[in-house]
Amino acid sequence: MSSRAGLVGVTGYTGMELSRLIVNHPRIKLTKVTSRADAGKELQELYPFLRGYELGRLVISQPEPDDLAAGCDLVFLAVPHGAAMEMAGELRQRGVKVVDLSADFRLRDVHVYESWYQKHTRRDCLTEAVYGLPELYAEQVKRASLVANPGCYPTASILGLYPALKNKLVKTGDIVIDAKSGTTGAGRKAAPGSLFCEVYDSFRAYGLPNHRHTPEIEQELSAIAGTSLTVSFNPHLLPINRGILSTIYTRLDKSISGADIQALYEEAYAPHRFVRVLPPGTFPELRNVRGTMFCDLALVPDARTGRLIILSAIDNLCRGASGQALANANLMCGLDLATGLELAPLVP
Amino acid sequence: MSSRAGLVGVTGYTGMELSRLIVNHPRIKLTKVTSRADAGKELQELYPFLRGYELGRLVISQPEPDDLAAGCDLVFLAVPHGAAMEMAGELRQRGVKVVDLSADFRLRDVHVYESWYQKHTRRDCLTEAVYGLPELYAEQVKRASLVANPGCYPTASILGLYPALKNKLVKTGDIVIDAKSGTTGAGRKAAPGSLFCEVYDSFRAYGLPNHRHTPEIEQELSAIAGTSLTVSFNPHLLPINRGILSTIYTRLDKSISGADIQALYEEAYAPHRFVRVLPPGTFPELRNVRGTMFCDLALVPDARTGRLIILSAIDNLCRGASGQALANANLMCGLDLATGLELAPLVP
Amino acid sequence: MSSRAGLVGVTGYTGMELSRLIVNHPRIKLTKVTSRADAGKELQELYPFLRGYELGRLVISQPEPDDLAAGCDLVFLAVPHGAAMEMAGELRQRGVKVVDLSADFRLRDVHVYESWYQKHTRRDCLTEAVYGLPELYAEQVKRASLVANPGCYPTASILGLYPALKNKLVKTGDIVIDAKSGTTGAGRKAAPGSLFCEVYDSFRAYGLPNHRHTPEIEQELSAIAGTSLTVSFNPHLLPINRGILSTIYTRLDKSISGADIQALYEEAYAPHRFVRVLPPGTFPELRNVRGTMFCDLALVPDARTGRLIILSAIDNLCRGASGQALANANLMCGLDLATGLELAPLVP
Amino acid sequence: MSSRAGLVGVTGYTGMELSRLIVNHPRIKLTKVTSRADAGKELQELYPFLRGYELGRLVISQPEPDDLAAGCDLVFLAVPHGAAMEMAGELRQRGVKVVDLSADFRLRDVHVYESWYQKHTRRDCLTEAVYGLPELYAEQVKRASLVANPGCYPTASILGLYPALKNKLVKTGDIVIDAKSGTTGAGRKAAPGSLFCEVYDSFRAYGLPNHRHTPEIEQELSAIAGTSLTVSFNPHLLPINRGILSTIYTRLDKSISGADIQALYEEAYAPHRFVRVLPPGTFPELRNVRGTMFCDLALVPDARTGRLIILSAIDNLCRGASGQALANANLMCGLDLATGLELAPLVP
């Protein structure tokens, strides 16, 4: 029997991506999709790529908590922060499981949340929220009713640094993350800076030096390292649709060979289907993770400067948002993490 | 039980695409992959995107007919014309089923073949070859031992024109096909004109006025129309990886309303899972077929000029080559056409 | 001594392009730039690429006719149709020369204009307007006070067909123009369909079968041919910034060799600096005209189908809009057509 | 009177770019262009974008030192390292001035050169070579006969760090340069990894951790800082044609306000036409320097982590190679640095 899922906010890129991924899912079925602006339309009018699938003929409805609770076992929230916390609260009151793709329940310290985002109106739900990075928190996710789906940049950063910090390989006070993201990361709002001709054939940094994903990254890395740390996180905008490549600069804190670092990462991720530690001398390419849950990692020790450089690549929409949300939903529904997510990368 | 398949010529884009598609196929398993240049390597060394899949660890071998016959029930040929006909002959002598992705067995008239390509050295096999366009020839493909997999441009052109010509809607003497293809269509050979910086942010026609796909298109359209016809076929190179959009200009030969043309196309393709006739006023976009078997069609009657314009979009690598090859293999193995090919388009 | 020019509507892509081109012009100086939304800012705040140029520090003002008349000898109108005709009327009343980049004065028959656009409120100015395609109308432009700057698609189409129609080489009843344009052609308005992720790595037709440039093309081609004709004009959206490539399908109306067609085109355009007739067998590429006034043409006779295919490439922003506007201003100011426009194409 | 220049190695991207830039130069004229592979052809056969220019009809010749010496006052070498040193030696013996775009004369310590490149066979010329970064060495370049034109990555890095190191703002032991380059940086050789479909819609690091530009960067930064330093330099490949954006991570070594850092940079570069220090809060975009000599800089102090992040953007082909070579040639010919190089960026 299938679980019945709802999707609140189908018109953005994370909603679009979740639609794409769930269309062939063997055990979770989308029964409700909502959008204030497009209610009344069939989903395939919005997304012609869904023509020919049963999902394409689902009629978009208004986001009503009672309606969602009646028709869904679990609901994905793909709406902006602020809107998400309200809907999450309504749904939790009605006993519906929630995977929230916004930032609203990611930061455990509400004061940190409020200093980077806005007032938090559903602190009651905050305590039950589980941070849904499966490689770290799968067991908690299985038992969770509210999952805070990680941000795209944090996902790439944390997976890249986890074994190094866990094993105290690198100094905690000297971490720089130079991140490059495809333009879907900017969302689907019709903003002048997101126009094709403003992005194509160009490249730029943005949001320096205080991007909102910084506290989320620091929260999780501090937990792994067992000490409070800060990072310098600096995003850039790639003229492509999908993908994040983070080049992470650390300083080695102990004497360890490149081979041992490699072995340590391979061992750490051996149980994890979706993290691929590349052989020494090969580097991640965004296309190799396109459309998938894979996180590709490379370790580059630099003896000359005493640094360990970590390259981490994901698809920001799939692994960094909707695919990871679906993986979390799988766990919450008692399914294997990878159910319906075994897609091969689209290369080239 | 699975069928065992071989792939001769894994290093080109059609070989790469077949690897991608077959990796999750439930009933056909790739047991042999060959390449003269890369024999001895694991497939994942060539294609890092296959890391984490069992297929990635398959060792590439030399293309030996005996070896292929011993290990495979069916072999895909993804090598250039000329090389393909020889290997096809060797494999057929050994009783192995063959799906040939080259042009070697597409043209039924060997003189036409020889005037556009080269001398044909396996005329013996030519008579048993079936032209593998499933919407037209599925029944023959099911019984075939040698399938000539259609060219990418012919696939888009024939599917676009089939109902119009079958129903004698348009004049046979006035067909222009203006085709635009992604750059994978140029192959994976390191040619100067295929370098990134020679293609990016530009656009051009090529091969006018006598591209080699012309006789293949004319052969099939003539068969449909029941009369010998010529077309003006003119390809262009898009600065993207995948996809063909053909804008097909015809002249209406009878008085028929736009609604009736639409209905006639919808009816013709109703039984066919992978052809989507779009609603009036909407046009195909290449992204909506990306990575899939779909052919998206739109009909645009132009009363002012007496023309019917047909827009036809496919993914040149999937529908136009390796996906269609796999669909044909499905039929030859007694499986449903769509087995393993129900992928949703990667949008955006 | 320099002429003083104004630019009404600096925030769109044609305004941006005119700013780029005029920055090094030796004889025309931009003294006024206007924008309702951005008045009060320095131009370099809007366009950081202009930092370091004197023009970058020009303060954007509100579009006031008196103000423009006081400070400018000539004004470029880079605002939407409708708005343009009003401002043109105001400026003409004040004796200011005008180059209008909108469609408002391109169609000589006001009924045609009103059936494709909107009500025309400045018919008084319509009669004095000259259609500013320099290869055809340079003498009239030199004496003009109001120039209707041609549309981008018409520019490519008319230059491509001019010698063929003038010399009655092709049938007037069988012309198909398959045009492909970069995305700047869609303007700089923040529309969802113009977002980077909606355009990148895709391709589609739009506006079929009745794009507004059709009557403009037909007006000019009919004048050249000396008979009223219709064309089938069909635009497509390229995932690049700049450039139009039109593939024009005609049917030969007389027996003439390819060499003679070639010679006829070369002769027709020999006096014209900015039209390059390519040698037989070579085709235009958009990059070869990037950022310039060039129109590259190739002639492809197809004996098999009795057609003459004409390939015509321009930069839609430069030759198709602001560069041509500046060329017209040059003529209106008594300068050589090419003054300040001798830029080499940016390749690659 | 014009200077007569030669260009050895016209077929690569730096040769192509030099052709583009020089075509409208008022005082330097290209009289010889050479290529072993393409000798005998007109330049416009190779580069159709040059049709319509006198330069397009120049016939490519074999690279003969006597021939070059007879016809040129100055020669640009746009050939690979190794080949360049030999030709430079031959030309210097004949009294011809040389601007070498290769790495052969950039490293003052021949042992460093030989450990990163190959044996140096023209040590005699090494001592007279001047490192041609005009903002630092214009006076020496004016008197030079042999200029080593800086590498593209070093140009962006050195201009970004110069005022900070000169003024001892930042620690010399903690510099990370995360550089992202367009694909022209990979050259025009038909290598599989440079094919369009291998680069488009993807992104990757390469050459980590020991790219050959590292010693060049360290040589110049050490000279500025007055102490030997090492940097961690890490390049990435952008799926665009042109441009380098370097994100440079440093650690502040003194207490200084953001406003003072900004003022210090503005003052340092005030005399330099082609360096633009952007206002606080705005960041460089590659498109804003496209096709030009501009280096756009932004300073981002990060109090939270004690870092100063410097963003530096150039066009790798123009500022990072051929434009800078032409600027050096201007100085060597007694002209103003900017002669013929006042092109506005091509945006969008």
Residue B162 confidence (pLDDT) above 80: yes
Say yes or no: A183 and A305 in one domain. Answer: yes
Distance from CA of A226 to the nearest CA of B (A): 31
pLDDT of residue A260: 98
Is the Cβ pair D344, C24 closer than 8 Å? yes
Say yes or no: D306 and D187 in one domain. Answer: yes
The answer to whether residue A23 neighbours chain B at the CB level (below 8 Å) is: yes
Single out the catalytic residue among A125, A152, A295, A318: A152
Say yes or no: D180 and D33 in one domain. Answer: no
Q: Which helix (H) or strand (E) holds C287?
A: none
Say yes or no: D157 and D29 in one domain. Answer: no
pLDDT of residue C1: 72
Say yes or no: B92 and B207 in one domain. Answer: no
- Taking alpha carbons only, the member of D1, D9, D3 closest to residue D321 is D9
Q: How many CB atoms lie within 10 A of CB A46?
A: 20
The answer as to whether C143 is a domain residue is no
For D175, nearest residue in chain A (alpha carbons): A305
The answer as to whether B84 is a domain residue is yes
The answer to whether residue A102 neighbours chain C at the CB level (below 8 Å) is: no
Q: What is the 3-state secondary structure (H, E, C) of chain A?
A: CCEEEEEECCCCHHHHHHHHHHCCCCCEEEEEEECCCCCCCEHHHHCHHHCCCHHHHCECECCCHHHHHHHCCEEEECCCCCHHHHHHHHHHHCCCEEEECCCCCCCCCHHHHHHHCCCCCCHHHHCCEEECCHHHHHHHHHHCCEEECCCHHHHHHHHHHHHHHHCCCECCCCCEEEEEECHHHHCCCCCHHHEHHHHCCCCEECCCCCCCHHHHHHHHHHHHHCCCCCCEEEEEECCCCCCEEEEEEEEECCCCCHHHHHHHHHHHHCCCCCEEECCCCCCCEHHHHCCCCCEEEEEEEECCCCEEEEEEEECCCHHHHHHHHHHHHHHHCCCCCCCCCCCCCCCC
For C183, nearest residue in chain B (alpha carbons): B201
Which of A51, A274, A346 minimises the CB distance to B346?
A: A346
Which of D23, D48, D348 minimises the CB distance to C278?
A: D48
Q: Which helix (H) or strand (E) holds D100?
A: strand D97-100
The answer as to whether A331 is a domain residue is no
Listed by number, the residues of chain B in 193-222 with a beta carbon closer than 8 Å to a beta carbon of chain C are 197-198, 200-206, 208-210
B104 to each of B75, B99, B100, B185, B186, how far by Cα in Å?
15, 11, 8, 17, 18
Average confidence (pLDDT) over A244-249: 98
The answer to whether residue C240 neighbours chain B at the CB level (below 8 Å) is: yes
Distance from CA of A204 to the nearest CA of D (A): 5
Helix (H, G, I), strand (E, B) or coil at D258: helix
pLDDT of residue B191: 93
Inter-residue contact A253 to A161 (CB < 8 Å):
no
- A226 in the Ramachandran plot: left (φ > 0), alpha (ψ -120 to 50) or beta? left
Last residue of a domain, one of D127, D161, D196: D127
Q: What is the pLDDT along chain C (348 residues), one digit of tens a residue?
A: 799 999 999 999 999 999 999 999 999 999 999 999 999 999 999 999 999 999 999 999 999 999 999 999 999 999 999 999 999 999 999 999 999 999 999 999 999 999 999 999 999 999 999 999 999 999 999 999 999 999 999 999 999 999 999 999 999 999 999 999 999 999 999 999 999 999 999 999 999 999 999 999 999 999 999 999 999 999 999 999 999 999 999 999 989 999 999 999 999 999 999 999 999 999 999 999 999 999 999 999 999 999 999 999 999 999 999 999 999 999 999 999 999 999 999 999
pLDDT of residue A236: 98
Domain that holds residue B243: 153-317
B299 to each of B287, C28, C178, C283, how far by Cα in Å?
19, 49, 16, 30
pLDDT of residue A317: 98
Is the Cβ pair C176, B176 closer than 8 Å? yes
Backbone angles phi, psi at D255, to 5 degrees: -85, 115
Single out the catalytic residue among C72, C152, C295, C318: C152
**Which letter does DSSP use for residue D120 in this model?**
-
pLDDT of residue A111: 97
pLDDT tens digits for range D173-204: 999 999 999 999 999 999 999 999 999 999 99
Which of D178, D204, D309 minimises the CB distance to A285?
A: D204
Residue D26 confidence (pLDDT) above 80: yes
For A241, nearest residue in chain D (alpha carbons): D201
Say yes or no: A284 and A170 in one domain. Answer: yes
pLDDT tens digits for range B194-249: 999 999 999 999 999 999 999 999 999 999 999 999 999 999 999 999 999 999 99
pLDDT of residue A177: 98
The answer as to whether A142 is a domain residue is no
Say yes or no: C313 and C176 in one domain. Answer: yes
Distance CA D313, CA A246 (A): 20
Do β-strands D146-148 and C204-205 pair in parallel, antiparallel, or remain unpaired? unpaired
The answer to whether residue A54 neighbours chain B at the CB level (below 8 Å) is: no
Average confidence (pLDDT) over A284-310: 97
Is the Cβ pair B196, D201 closer than 8 Å? no
Is the Cβ pair C184, D291 closer than 8 Å? no
Say yes or no: B163 and B76 in one domain. Answer: no
For B183, nearest residue in chain C (alpha carbons): C201
C-alpha C148: how far from chain center = 10
pTM over 0.95: yes
The residues of D annotated with a catalytic role in the active site are: 152
- Taking alpha carbons only, the member of C181, C173, C219 closest to residue C203 is C181
Domain count, chain A: 2
Is the Cβ pair A343, B24 closer than 8 Å? yes
CATH of residue D233's domain is: 3.30.360.10
Average confidence (pLDDT) over A161-167: 98
Cα angle D11, D16, D22 (rounded to 5 degrees) comes to: 135
A318 flagged as catalytic: no
The answer as to whether B141 is a domain residue is no
Average confidence (pLDDT) over A189-199: 96
Do β-strands A295-302 and A307-314 pair in parallel, antiparallel, or remain unpaired? antiparallel
Say yes or no: B53 and B169 in one domain. Answer: no
Partners of chain A (3+ Cβ pairs below 8 A): B, C, D
Two tokens, residue D123: 């040590």
The answer to whether residue C249 neighbours chain B at the CB level (below 8 Å) is: yes
Two tokens, residue A10: 């189908």
Is the Cβ pair A196, C191 closer than 8 Å? no
B71 to each of B87, B90, C247, how far by Cα in Å?
15, 15, 49
pLDDT tens digits for range D111-157: 999 999 999 999 999 999 999 999 999 999 999 999 999 999 999 99
Backbone angles phi, psi at A238, to 5 degrees: -85, 140
Interface predicted TM-score (ipTM) over 0.85: yes
Last residue of a domain, one of C127, C145, C172: C127
The answer as to whether D345 is a domain residue is no
Say yes or no: A121 and A168 in one domain. Answer: no
The answer as to whether A272 is a domain residue is yes
Residue D1 confidence (pLDDT) above 80: no
Q: Which of D197, D305, D308 to mutate to probe the A interface, most A CBs <10 Å?
A: D305
Which of A49, A53, A294 minimises the CB distance to B347?
A: A49
| Residues in Cβ contact with A86 at an 8 Å cutoff, skipping those fewer than 6 apart | A121, A122
pLDDT of residue A69: 98
Distance CA C217, CA C34 (A): 30
Is the Cβ pair C195, A194 closer than 8 Å? yes
The pLDDT-based confidence of D290 (bands split at 50, 70, 90) is: very high
CATH of residue C82's domain is: 3.40.50.720
Q: Which of C25, C272, C346 to mutate to probe the D interface, most D CBs <10 Å?
A: C346
For CA atoms D69, D70, D72, D76, give the dihedral sign.
negative
| Residues in Cβ contact with A35 at an 8 Å cutoff, skipping those fewer than 6 apart | A9, A10, A11, A15, A46, A60, A63
Two tokens, residue D35: 């290529």
| Residues in Cβ contact with D347 at an 8 Å cutoff, skipping those fewer than 6 apart | C16, C20, C47, C49, D287, D288, D290
Distance CA D24, CA D21 (A): 7
Distance CA C265, CA C309 (A): 13
Which of B52, B184, B347 minimises the CB distance to A276?
A: B52
The answer as to whether C112 is a domain residue is yes
Say yes or no: D106 and D251 in one domain. Answer: no
For C280, nearest residue in chain B (alpha carbons): B208
Is the Cβ pair B52, A273 closer than 8 Å? yes
Half-sphere exposure of C147 (CA within 13 A, CB side): 33
Is the Cβ pair D342, C242 closer than 8 Å? no
Distance CA D104, CA D84 (A): 7
The answer to whether residue B13 neighbours chain D at the CB level (below 8 Å) is: yes
Two tokens, residue C314: 């321009």
Partners of chain D (3+ Cβ pairs below 8 A): A, B, C
Residue B115 confidence (pLDDT) above 80: yes
Which of A13, A198, A201 minimises the CB distance to C197?
A: A13
The answer to whether residue C345 neighbours chain A at the CB level (below 8 Å) is: no
Which of C195, C198, C200 minimises the CB distance to A240?
A: C200
pLDDT of residue B1: 72
Distance CA A28, CA A340 (A): 9
pLDDT of residue A1: 72
pLDDT tens digits for range D211-235: 999 999 999 999 999 999 999 999 9
User: Percent of chain D, pLDDT > 90?
Assistant: 99
pLDDT of residue B348: 97
Inter-residue contact B245 to B180 (CB < 8 Å):
yes
Say yes or no: A158 and A99 in one domain. Answer: no
pLDDT tens digits for range D69-100: 999 999 999 999 999 999 999 999 999 999 99
The answer to whether residue A343 neighbours chain B at the CB level (below 8 Å) is: yes
pLDDT of residue D6: 98
Is the Cβ pair C197, A241 closer than 8 Å? yes
Distance from CA of C122 to the nearest CA of D (A): 33
The residues pairing with D117 across neighbouring beta strands, listed in sequence order, are none
Is the Cβ pair A183, C200 closer than 8 Å? yes
The pLDDT-based confidence of A33 (bands split at 50, 70, 90) is: very high
The answer to whether residue A294 neighbours chain B at the CB level (below 8 Å) is: yes
Helix (H, G, I), strand (E, B) or coil at D188: coil
Q: Which residues in chain B are closer than 8 Å to A49, comparing Cβ atoms?
A: 287-289, 344-345, 347
